[in-house]
Amino acid sequence: MRPTLLAIAALWGLVACHVQAQQVYRCEIHGKTSYSHEPCLGAQVIDTTPTQGLNRSTGKVQRHPDVQREITHRPIAEAIRPITGKSPEALAVDRRRMRLSATDKLHCEWLDLRLPSLEAQVAQARADQKGQAELALYQARLQLRDLRC
């Protein structure tokens, strides 16, 4: 009986509504800095993780629905971790990609594996190779965005 409840909880967690968190990029173009959801050449990823919602002045907890949803999903993800073998973050990615086709999911997974190596190449590239490395990273980020990974 208990495994059935966990399986139902897992399905509920995967089927629940979700809002895709968009990457925010810091771009410097002609000496001017801008922030955008659109990647650009030489973009830096900015962490836009929301706070947990405690209002310092009133002491009341005021949470955005996205934060509340994350707080609700985390214990469920931890409870089904022995069954799925996936972390709460991995399950959140699965929820976000649930509606993608199988080929798009595979492409997203491939890009997930490729992105850290591309970022490392940009960081380690010599001046004459930096442009090519940044272009490859830019194209991978565009594919991630276009596929809605």
Q: pTM (2 decimals)? A: 0.60
- pLDDT score of 11 more than 50: no
Determine the pLDDT at residue 110: 96
Determine the pLDDT at residue 51: 61
Task: Give phi and psi for 129, each to the nearest 5.
Answer: -105, -5
Q: What percent of the chain has pLDDT over 70?
A: 79
> Mind listing the pLDDT tens digit for each residue in 53-93?
666 667 677 777 878 888 888 899 999 999 999 999 999 89
Name the pLDDT band for 1 (thresholds 50, 70, 90).
very low
DSSP of the chain, one letter per residue? Answer: -HHHHHHHHHHHHHHS---PPPPEEEEEETTEEEEESS--TT-EEE--PPP--B-TTT--B---HHHHHHHHHHHHHHHTHHHH---HHHHHHHHHTTTS-HHHHHHHHHHHHHHHHHHHHHHH--TTTHHHHHHHHHHHHHHHHHHT-
Determine the pLDDT at residue 60: 73
Q: What is the mean pLDDT of residues 122-138?
A: 93
Nearest CA to 27 out of 16, 41, 13 is that of 41
